[in-house]
Structure 1
Amino acid sequence: MSVWMGLVSFAAVAGLLTLVPGVDTALVLRAAIVRGTRHAFTTALGVGTGVLVWGAAAACGLSVLLTTSQLAYTVLRIAGAVYLVWLGVKTLVTLWRNRGSVDGIGADDSDASGGLLRAWARGAATNLLNPKVGVFYIAMLPQFIPPEAPHLAMGVALAVVHGIEGMLWFSVLIYGVQFTRTWVARPPVKRAMEAVTGSVLLAFGLKLAVSETP
Protein backbone atom coordinates (compact mmCIF):
# COMPACT_ATOMS: atom_id res chain seq x y z
CA MET A 1 0.00 0.00 0.00
CA SER A 2 1.32 3.41 -1.02
CA VAL A 3 1.25 6.53 1.14
CA TRP A 4 -1.50 8.10 -0.96
CA MET A 5 -3.58 4.93 -0.86
CA GLY A 6 -3.22 4.86 2.90
CA LEU A 7 -4.32 8.48 3.20
CA VAL A 8 -7.33 8.00 0.93
CA SER A 9 -8.42 4.76 2.61
CA PHE A 10 -8.12 6.27 6.08
CA ALA A 11 -10.01 9.36 4.93
CA ALA A 12 -12.97 7.17 4.00
CA VAL A 13 -13.00 5.40 7.37
CA ALA A 14 -12.39 8.55 9.42
CA GLY A 15 -15.03 10.41 7.40
CA LEU A 16 -17.68 7.93 8.46
CA LEU A 17 -16.57 8.20 12.07
CA THR A 18 -16.72 11.99 11.88
CA LEU A 19 -20.39 11.90 10.90
CA VAL A 20 -21.35 9.81 13.95
CA PRO A 21 -22.74 12.18 16.63
CA GLY A 22 -20.78 12.26 19.85
CA VAL A 23 -19.74 14.48 22.71
CA ASP A 24 -17.48 16.55 20.41
CA THR A 25 -20.43 17.31 18.16
CA ALA A 26 -22.58 18.24 21.14
CA LEU A 27 -19.95 20.68 22.41
CA VAL A 28 -19.50 22.39 19.05
CA LEU A 29 -23.24 22.70 18.46
CA ARG A 30 -23.73 24.07 21.95
CA ALA A 31 -21.01 26.65 21.37
CA ALA A 32 -22.51 27.65 18.01
CA ILE A 33 -26.01 28.13 19.40
CA VAL A 34 -25.21 29.60 22.79
CA ARG A 35 -21.89 31.42 22.28
CA GLY A 36 -21.61 32.14 18.57
CA THR A 37 -19.37 31.33 15.61
CA ARG A 38 -16.02 32.24 17.17
CA HIS A 39 -16.51 30.03 20.20
CA ALA A 40 -17.81 27.19 18.03
CA PHE A 41 -14.81 27.23 15.68
CA THR A 42 -12.43 27.59 18.63
CA THR A 43 -14.03 24.57 20.30
CA ALA A 44 -13.71 22.65 17.02
CA LEU A 45 -10.01 23.59 16.81
CA GLY A 46 -9.59 22.21 20.33
CA VAL A 47 -11.11 18.92 19.21
CA GLY A 48 -8.77 18.93 16.20
CA THR A 49 -5.80 19.49 18.49
CA GLY A 50 -6.78 16.42 20.47
CA VAL A 51 -7.00 14.39 17.26
CA LEU A 52 -3.47 15.44 16.25
CA VAL A 53 -2.08 14.49 19.66
CA TRP A 54 -3.78 11.08 19.54
CA GLY A 55 -2.47 10.50 16.01
CA ALA A 56 1.11 11.32 17.00
CA ALA A 57 0.84 9.22 20.18
CA ALA A 58 -0.51 6.22 18.27
CA ALA A 59 2.23 6.53 15.64
CA CYS A 60 4.89 6.66 18.36
CA GLY A 61 3.36 3.70 20.15
CA LEU A 62 2.66 5.70 23.31
CA SER A 63 -1.07 5.13 23.25
CA VAL A 64 -0.52 1.36 23.05
CA LEU A 65 -0.55 1.64 26.83
CA LEU A 66 -4.32 1.98 26.61
CA THR A 67 -4.64 -1.56 25.28
CA THR A 68 -1.69 -3.25 27.00
CA SER A 69 -2.16 -1.70 30.43
CA GLN A 70 -5.54 -2.02 32.09
CA LEU A 71 -4.40 0.48 34.72
CA ALA A 72 -3.53 3.14 32.13
CA TYR A 73 -6.85 2.67 30.38
CA THR A 74 -8.76 2.77 33.65
CA VAL A 75 -7.01 5.95 34.84
CA LEU A 76 -7.75 7.77 31.58
CA ARG A 77 -11.30 6.42 31.51
CA ILE A 78 -12.05 7.62 35.03
CA ALA A 79 -10.42 11.00 34.36
CA GLY A 80 -12.47 11.42 31.20
CA ALA A 81 -15.66 10.34 32.94
CA VAL A 82 -15.10 12.76 35.82
CA TYR A 83 -14.39 15.60 33.40
CA LEU A 84 -17.51 14.95 31.32
CA VAL A 85 -19.72 14.60 34.38
CA TRP A 86 -18.26 17.83 35.77
CA LEU A 87 -18.95 19.65 32.49
CA GLY A 88 -22.49 18.29 32.36
CA VAL A 89 -23.31 19.13 35.98
CA LYS A 90 -21.73 22.58 35.65
CA THR A 91 -23.80 23.32 32.54
CA LEU A 92 -27.05 22.21 34.19
CA VAL A 93 -26.32 24.00 37.47
CA THR A 94 -25.44 27.24 35.67
CA LEU A 95 -28.62 26.98 33.64
CA TRP A 96 -30.66 26.46 36.81
CA ARG A 97 -29.03 29.35 38.65
CA ASN A 98 -29.68 31.71 35.75
CA ARG A 99 -33.20 30.52 35.00
CA GLY A 100 -34.60 33.95 35.87
CA SER A 101 -32.29 35.90 33.55
CA VAL A 102 -33.09 36.93 29.99
CA ASP A 103 -31.15 34.10 28.38
CA GLY A 104 -30.96 31.74 31.33
CA ILE A 105 -27.31 31.20 30.48
CA GLY A 106 -24.22 31.92 32.52
CA ALA A 107 -21.35 34.13 31.44
CA ASP A 108 -18.51 31.66 31.82
CA ASP A 109 -17.57 32.03 28.12
CA SER A 110 -17.19 35.71 27.40
CA ASP A 111 -16.04 37.12 24.08
CA ALA A 112 -12.65 37.94 25.61
CA SER A 113 -9.55 35.93 24.77
CA GLY A 114 -9.91 34.03 28.04
CA GLY A 115 -13.32 32.78 26.95
CA LEU A 116 -11.94 31.60 23.62
CA LEU A 117 -9.04 29.90 25.35
CA ARG A 118 -11.48 28.05 27.60
CA ALA A 119 -13.49 27.02 24.54
CA TRP A 120 -10.35 25.60 22.91
CA ALA A 121 -9.27 23.87 26.10
CA ARG A 122 -12.73 22.36 26.57
CA GLY A 123 -12.66 20.87 23.08
CA ALA A 124 -9.11 19.55 23.43
CA ALA A 125 -9.62 18.11 26.91
CA THR A 126 -12.86 16.39 25.96
CA ASN A 127 -11.13 14.66 23.06
CA LEU A 128 -7.89 13.82 24.86
CA LEU A 129 -9.64 12.40 27.92
CA ASN A 130 -11.72 10.02 25.83
CA PRO A 131 -9.87 6.67 25.79
CA LYS A 132 -12.18 5.43 23.05
CA VAL A 133 -10.49 7.87 20.65
CA GLY A 134 -7.09 6.52 21.63
CA VAL A 135 -8.20 2.93 21.15
CA PHE A 136 -9.59 3.84 17.71
CA TYR A 137 -6.24 5.27 16.64
CA ILE A 138 -4.32 2.30 18.03
CA ALA A 139 -6.56 -0.13 16.15
CA MET A 140 -6.87 1.79 12.88
CA LEU A 141 -3.66 3.74 12.21
CA PRO A 142 -1.26 0.78 11.79
CA GLN A 143 -3.45 -0.60 9.02
CA PHE A 144 -2.95 2.56 6.94
CA ILE A 145 0.78 3.14 7.49
CA PRO A 146 2.92 1.58 4.74
CA PRO A 147 5.95 -0.33 6.10
CA GLU A 148 8.39 1.98 4.30
CA ALA A 149 6.75 5.21 5.53
CA PRO A 150 8.05 7.09 8.62
CA HIS A 151 5.58 6.10 11.33
CA LEU A 152 5.44 9.44 13.16
CA ALA A 153 5.10 11.55 10.00
CA MET A 154 2.49 9.19 8.53
CA GLY A 155 0.57 9.02 11.79
CA VAL A 156 0.44 12.80 12.02
CA ALA A 157 -0.57 13.03 8.35
CA LEU A 158 -3.47 10.63 8.94
CA ALA A 159 -4.53 12.61 12.01
CA VAL A 160 -4.41 15.81 9.93
CA VAL A 161 -6.73 14.19 7.38
CA HIS A 162 -9.13 13.26 10.19
CA GLY A 163 -8.83 16.76 11.64
CA ILE A 164 -9.61 18.41 8.31
CA GLU A 165 -12.65 16.21 7.84
CA GLY A 166 -13.78 17.09 11.33
CA MET A 167 -13.37 20.82 10.72
CA LEU A 168 -15.31 20.57 7.44
CA TRP A 169 -18.16 18.75 9.18
CA PHE A 170 -18.15 21.15 12.10
CA SER A 171 -18.19 24.06 9.62
CA VAL A 172 -21.34 22.65 8.05
CA LEU A 173 -22.96 22.39 11.49
CA ILE A 174 -21.81 25.85 12.61
CA TYR A 175 -22.91 27.63 9.45
CA GLY A 176 -26.12 25.65 9.52
CA VAL A 177 -26.77 27.13 12.95
CA GLN A 178 -25.93 30.60 11.65
CA PHE A 179 -28.33 30.12 8.74
CA THR A 180 -31.12 29.63 11.27
CA ARG A 181 -29.69 32.23 13.65
CA THR A 182 -32.95 34.12 14.10
CA TRP A 183 -34.59 31.01 15.48
CA VAL A 184 -31.70 29.57 17.50
CA ALA A 185 -30.93 32.96 19.08
CA ARG A 186 -34.24 32.86 20.94
CA PRO A 187 -33.68 32.42 24.72
CA PRO A 188 -35.90 29.30 24.96
CA VAL A 189 -33.85 27.58 22.25
CA LYS A 190 -30.58 28.51 23.95
CA ARG A 191 -31.85 27.22 27.28
CA ALA A 192 -33.04 24.02 25.64
CA MET A 193 -29.65 23.50 23.99
CA GLU A 194 -27.88 24.05 27.29
CA ALA A 195 -30.16 21.50 28.95
CA VAL A 196 -29.64 18.96 26.16
CA THR A 197 -25.86 19.48 26.08
CA GLY A 198 -25.55 19.21 29.86
CA SER A 199 -27.60 16.01 29.85
CA VAL A 200 -25.57 14.54 26.96
CA LEU A 201 -22.27 15.32 28.66
CA LEU A 202 -23.53 13.80 31.89
CA ALA A 203 -24.80 10.70 30.09
CA PHE A 204 -21.52 10.23 28.16
CA GLY A 205 -19.57 10.65 31.38
CA LEU A 206 -21.62 8.06 33.25
CA LYS A 207 -21.44 5.67 30.31
CA LEU A 208 -17.66 6.05 30.15
CA ALA A 209 -17.42 5.50 33.90
CA VAL A 210 -19.12 2.09 33.72
CA SER A 211 -17.40 1.00 30.49
CA GLU A 212 -14.58 -1.26 31.67
CA THR A 213 -13.27 -2.61 28.37
CA PRO A 214 -11.41 -0.73 25.60
Structure 2
Amino acid sequence: MTLFLAFLGVSFIVIATPGPDTAITIRNSLLGGRAAGLMTALGIACGQAIWALATSAGVVTLLTASEPVFMAVKYAGAAYLVFLGIQALREALWPGASEHGDAVPQAHTRLSAFSAFRQGIISDLGNPKMAVFFASLLPQFVPASGATFSALLFLGIVFSVLTFVWLAFYATLIAKAGDFLRRPKVRRAIEGVTGMLLIGLGVRIAAEHR
Protein backbone atom coordinates (compact mmCIF):
# COMPACT_ATOMS: atom_id res chain seq x y z
CA MET A 1 0.00 0.00 0.00
CA THR A 2 2.86 2.37 0.82
CA LEU A 3 4.41 1.82 -2.60
CA PHE A 4 1.07 2.42 -4.30
CA LEU A 5 0.48 5.68 -2.43
CA ALA A 6 3.98 6.81 -3.37
CA PHE A 7 3.19 5.93 -6.98
CA LEU A 8 0.02 8.04 -6.86
CA GLY A 9 1.98 11.00 -5.48
CA VAL A 10 4.69 10.81 -8.14
CA SER A 11 2.08 10.29 -10.86
CA PHE A 12 0.13 13.37 -9.82
CA ILE A 13 3.25 15.55 -9.94
CA VAL A 14 4.16 14.26 -13.40
CA ILE A 15 0.62 14.54 -14.77
CA ALA A 16 0.02 18.03 -13.36
CA THR A 17 3.20 19.37 -14.97
CA PRO A 18 2.14 21.15 -18.20
CA GLY A 19 3.40 19.58 -21.41
CA PRO A 20 2.26 18.56 -24.89
CA ASP A 21 -0.79 16.71 -23.56
CA THR A 22 -2.05 19.76 -21.70
CA ALA A 23 -1.41 22.08 -24.64
CA ILE A 24 -3.24 19.86 -27.13
CA THR A 25 -6.19 19.38 -24.77
CA ILE A 26 -6.58 23.12 -24.21
CA ARG A 27 -6.35 23.91 -27.92
CA ASN A 28 -8.84 21.23 -28.93
CA SER A 29 -11.25 22.33 -26.20
CA LEU A 30 -11.19 25.80 -27.72
CA LEU A 31 -11.74 24.48 -31.24
CA GLY A 32 -14.39 21.87 -30.53
CA GLY A 33 -15.71 22.55 -27.06
CA ARG A 34 -15.85 20.22 -24.07
CA ALA A 35 -16.57 17.14 -26.18
CA ALA A 36 -13.43 17.60 -28.27
CA GLY A 37 -11.38 18.25 -25.13
CA LEU A 38 -12.65 15.07 -23.50
CA MET A 39 -11.97 13.02 -26.64
CA THR A 40 -8.45 14.44 -26.79
CA ALA A 41 -7.93 13.45 -23.16
CA LEU A 42 -9.31 9.98 -23.93
CA GLY A 43 -6.94 9.60 -26.88
CA ILE A 44 -3.97 10.60 -24.74
CA ALA A 45 -5.00 8.17 -22.00
CA CYS A 46 -5.41 5.37 -24.55
CA GLY A 47 -1.95 6.13 -25.90
CA GLN A 48 -0.53 5.86 -22.39
CA ALA A 49 -2.40 2.59 -21.83
CA ILE A 50 -0.79 1.20 -24.97
CA TRP A 51 2.65 2.27 -23.74
CA ALA A 52 1.84 0.63 -20.38
CA LEU A 53 0.87 -2.60 -22.13
CA ALA A 54 4.03 -2.49 -24.23
CA THR A 55 6.11 -1.89 -21.10
CA SER A 56 4.49 -4.81 -19.27
CA ALA A 57 5.02 -7.13 -22.26
CA GLY A 58 8.66 -6.12 -22.66
CA VAL A 59 8.12 -4.48 -26.05
CA VAL A 60 9.39 -1.14 -24.75
CA THR A 61 12.69 -2.77 -23.86
CA LEU A 62 13.09 -3.81 -27.50
CA LEU A 63 12.14 -0.32 -28.67
CA THR A 64 14.65 1.46 -26.47
CA ALA A 65 17.33 -1.09 -27.40
CA SER A 66 16.89 -0.35 -31.11
CA GLU A 67 18.39 3.05 -31.82
CA PRO A 68 17.00 3.42 -35.38
CA VAL A 69 13.44 2.53 -34.35
CA PHE A 70 13.59 4.74 -31.24
CA MET A 71 14.86 7.69 -33.27
CA ALA A 72 12.23 7.16 -35.98
CA VAL A 73 9.42 7.24 -33.42
CA LYS A 74 10.97 10.26 -31.73
CA TYR A 75 11.30 12.33 -34.90
CA ALA A 76 7.84 11.34 -36.12
CA GLY A 77 6.31 12.42 -32.82
CA ALA A 78 8.28 15.66 -32.77
CA ALA A 79 7.22 16.45 -36.35
CA TYR A 80 3.58 15.88 -35.44
CA LEU A 81 3.79 18.32 -32.52
CA VAL A 82 5.43 20.91 -34.77
CA PHE A 83 2.69 20.34 -37.36
CA LEU A 84 -0.03 20.95 -34.74
CA GLY A 85 1.87 24.01 -33.53
CA ILE A 86 2.03 25.47 -37.03
CA GLN A 87 -1.71 24.89 -37.42
CA ALA A 88 -2.32 26.80 -34.17
CA LEU A 89 -0.09 29.69 -35.25
CA ARG A 90 -1.84 29.85 -38.59
CA GLU A 91 -5.19 30.16 -36.80
CA ALA A 92 -3.74 32.90 -34.59
CA LEU A 93 -2.29 34.91 -37.47
CA TRP A 94 -4.89 34.24 -40.16
CA PRO A 95 -8.20 33.40 -38.50
CA GLY A 96 -11.24 32.28 -40.46
CA ALA A 97 -12.98 34.88 -42.53
CA SER A 98 -16.11 34.56 -40.37
CA GLU A 99 -14.33 35.89 -37.29
CA HIS A 100 -14.50 39.66 -37.14
CA GLY A 101 -14.59 42.01 -34.22
CA ASP A 102 -15.32 40.72 -30.73
CA ALA A 103 -18.53 38.86 -31.42
CA VAL A 104 -18.63 35.39 -29.97
CA PRO A 105 -18.96 32.67 -32.62
CA GLN A 106 -22.23 30.79 -32.31
CA ALA A 107 -20.71 27.39 -33.08
CA HIS A 108 -17.40 25.72 -32.59
CA THR A 109 -17.64 22.48 -34.57
CA ARG A 110 -14.45 22.86 -36.55
CA LEU A 111 -12.83 19.92 -34.73
CA SER A 112 -14.71 16.64 -34.68
CA ALA A 113 -14.60 14.20 -31.78
CA PHE A 114 -12.77 11.65 -33.96
CA SER A 115 -10.11 14.17 -35.01
CA ALA A 116 -9.62 15.20 -31.38
CA PHE A 117 -9.20 11.58 -30.29
CA ARG A 118 -6.81 10.90 -33.16
CA GLN A 119 -4.64 13.90 -32.28
CA GLY A 120 -4.50 12.82 -28.67
CA ILE A 121 -3.48 9.23 -29.28
CA ILE A 122 -1.01 10.03 -32.08
CA SER A 123 0.73 12.75 -30.07
CA ASP A 124 1.16 10.37 -27.13
CA LEU A 125 2.25 7.33 -29.12
CA GLY A 126 4.64 9.56 -31.05
CA ASN A 127 6.49 10.50 -27.87
CA PRO A 128 9.03 7.74 -27.13
CA LYS A 129 9.92 9.54 -23.90
CA MET A 130 6.68 8.03 -22.58
CA ALA A 131 8.14 4.59 -23.25
CA VAL A 132 11.30 5.44 -21.36
CA PHE A 133 9.24 7.03 -18.59
CA PHE A 134 7.02 3.98 -18.08
CA ALA A 135 9.96 1.59 -18.29
CA SER A 136 11.81 3.51 -15.58
CA LEU A 137 8.85 4.49 -13.36
CA LEU A 138 6.59 1.47 -13.09
CA PRO A 139 9.12 -1.14 -11.87
CA GLN A 140 10.11 1.15 -8.98
CA PHE A 141 6.66 0.80 -7.43
CA VAL A 142 6.26 -2.95 -7.74
CA PRO A 143 7.72 -5.23 -5.05
CA ALA A 144 10.73 -7.16 -6.32
CA SER A 145 8.82 -10.41 -5.91
CA GLY A 146 5.77 -9.06 -7.71
CA ALA A 147 7.12 -7.38 -10.86
CA THR A 148 4.71 -9.33 -13.04
CA PHE A 149 2.93 -8.42 -16.25
CA SER A 150 -0.36 -7.78 -14.41
CA ALA A 151 1.24 -5.61 -11.70
CA LEU A 152 3.04 -3.38 -14.20
CA LEU A 153 -0.03 -3.13 -16.42
CA PHE A 154 -2.21 -2.20 -13.44
CA LEU A 155 0.05 0.71 -12.50
CA GLY A 156 0.16 1.85 -16.12
CA ILE A 157 -3.62 1.80 -16.40
CA VAL A 158 -3.94 3.73 -13.12
CA PHE A 159 -1.56 6.36 -14.51
CA SER A 160 -3.62 6.56 -17.71
CA VAL A 161 -6.88 7.00 -15.80
CA LEU A 162 -5.37 9.73 -13.63
CA THR A 163 -4.16 11.48 -16.78
CA PHE A 164 -7.64 11.34 -18.30
CA VAL A 165 -9.24 12.76 -15.14
CA TRP A 166 -6.74 15.62 -14.99
CA LEU A 167 -7.06 16.54 -18.65
CA ALA A 168 -10.84 16.20 -18.50
CA PHE A 169 -10.71 18.81 -15.74
CA TYR A 170 -8.86 21.14 -18.12
CA ALA A 171 -11.40 20.50 -20.88
CA THR A 172 -14.30 21.21 -18.53
CA LEU A 173 -12.63 24.37 -17.25
CA ILE A 174 -12.15 25.66 -20.79
CA ALA A 175 -15.76 24.80 -21.63
CA LYS A 176 -17.06 26.64 -18.55
CA ALA A 177 -15.01 29.71 -19.49
CA GLY A 178 -16.84 29.29 -22.78
CA ASP A 179 -17.80 32.50 -24.49
CA PHE A 180 -14.95 34.57 -23.06
CA LEU A 181 -12.20 32.21 -24.23
CA ARG A 182 -13.83 31.83 -27.64
CA ARG A 183 -13.86 35.54 -28.31
CA PRO A 184 -11.73 35.95 -31.44
CA LYS A 185 -9.03 38.11 -29.87
CA VAL A 186 -8.70 35.92 -26.79
CA ARG A 187 -8.75 32.68 -28.78
CA ARG A 188 -6.17 33.97 -31.22
CA ALA A 189 -3.88 34.88 -28.34
CA ILE A 190 -4.27 31.40 -26.81
CA GLU A 191 -3.74 29.78 -30.23
CA GLY A 192 -0.53 31.77 -30.66
CA VAL A 193 0.85 30.80 -27.26
CA THR A 194 -0.21 27.17 -27.70
CA GLY A 195 1.31 27.04 -31.18
CA MET A 196 4.67 28.31 -29.98
CA LEU A 197 4.56 25.89 -27.05
CA LEU A 198 3.83 22.88 -29.28
CA ILE A 199 6.56 23.83 -31.74
CA GLY A 200 9.00 24.36 -28.88
CA LEU A 201 8.13 20.99 -27.35
CA GLY A 202 8.47 19.26 -30.70
CA VAL A 203 11.90 20.77 -31.27
CA ARG A 204 12.96 19.86 -27.74
CA ILE A 205 11.88 16.23 -28.16
CA ALA A 206 13.75 16.00 -31.47
CA ALA A 207 16.90 17.56 -29.99
CA GLU A 208 16.94 15.64 -26.71
CA HIS A 209 19.24 12.71 -26.18
CA ARG A 210 17.88 9.69 -24.36
TM bin, normalised by shorter chain, reads 0.7 to 0.9
Deviation at 1:55, TM superposition (A): 0.7
The alignment-based identity, stated in percent, is: 30
**Partners in 2 of 1:134 and 1:95 — Cα distance?**
33
Give the one of 9, 13, 17 matched to 2:14: 17
Question: Are 2:92 and 2:189, in contact at CA under 8 Å, matched by a contact in 1?
Answer: no
Question: Are 1:127 and 1:133, in contact at CA under 8 Å, matched by a contact in 2?
Answer: yes
The answer on 1:141 being equivalent to 2:138 is yes
CA 1:153–1:192 in 2, change beyond 3 Å: closer, same or farther?
A: same
Question: Are 1:109 and 1:118, in contact at CA under 8 Å, matched by a contact in 2?
Answer: no
**Partners in 2 of 1:12 and 1:57 — Cα distance?**
23
Deviation at 1:197, TM superposition (A): 1.6
**Partners in 1 of 2:113 and 2:149 — Cα distance?**
30
CA 1:185–1:97 in 2, change beyond 3 Å: closer, same or farther?
A: closer
The answer on 1:85 being equivalent to 2:86 is no
Question: Are 2:51 and 2:131, in contact at CA under 8 Å, matched by a contact in 1?
Answer: yes
CA 1:108–1:171 in 2, change beyond 3 Å: closer, same or farther?
A: closer
**Partners in 1 of 2:132 and 2:5 — Cα distance?**
21
CA 1:108–1:121 in 2, change beyond 3 Å: closer, same or farther?
A: farther
Question: Are 1:85 and 1:205, in contact at CA under 8 Å, matched by a contact in 2?
Answer: yes
Deviation at 1:122, TM superposition (A): 0.3
Residue-pair matches, total: 206
Partner of 2:198: 201
Partner of 1:40: 37
The answer on 1:73 being equivalent to 2:73 is no
Question: Are 1:19 and 1:169, in contact at CA under 8 Å, matched by a contact in 2?
Answer: yes
TM value normalised by structure 1: 0.85
Give the one of 176, 183, 186 matched to 2:183: 186
In structure 1, give the amino acid aligned to 2:185.
Answer: P
Question: Are 1:34 and 1:190, in contact at CA under 8 Å, matched by a contact in 2?
Answer: no
In structure 1, give the amino acid aligned to 2:54.
Answer: A
Question: Are 1:66 and 1:135, in contact at CA under 8 Å, matched by a contact in 2?
Answer: no
Match of 1:184, SS state, is: coil
Question: Are 1:109 and 1:119, in contact at CA under 8 Å, matched by a contact in 2?
Answer: no
Match of 1:98, SS state, is: coil
**Partners in 1 of 2:187 and 2:170 — Cα distance?**
16
Question: Are 1:64 and 1:138, in contact at CA under 8 Å, matched by a contact in 2?
Answer: yes
The answer on 1:163 being equivalent to 2:160 is yes
1:142-200 deviation digits (Å, cap 9, x = unpaired): 12233444733222211221122212222332232233223212111111122122211
Question: Are 2:139 and 2:147, in contact at CA under 8 Å, matched by a contact in 1?
Answer: no
**Partners in 2 of 1:155 and 1:125 — Cα distance?**
23
CA 1:66–1:108 in 2, change beyond 3 Å: closer, same or farther?
A: farther
**Partners in 2 of 1:87 and 1:180 — Cα distance?**
23
CA 1:71–1:108 in 2, change beyond 3 Å: closer, same or farther?
A: farther
Q: What RMSD in Å do the two structures reach over aligned CA positions?
A: 2.5
TM value normalised by structure 2: 0.87
CA 1:176–1:72 in 2, change beyond 3 Å: closer, same or farther?
A: same
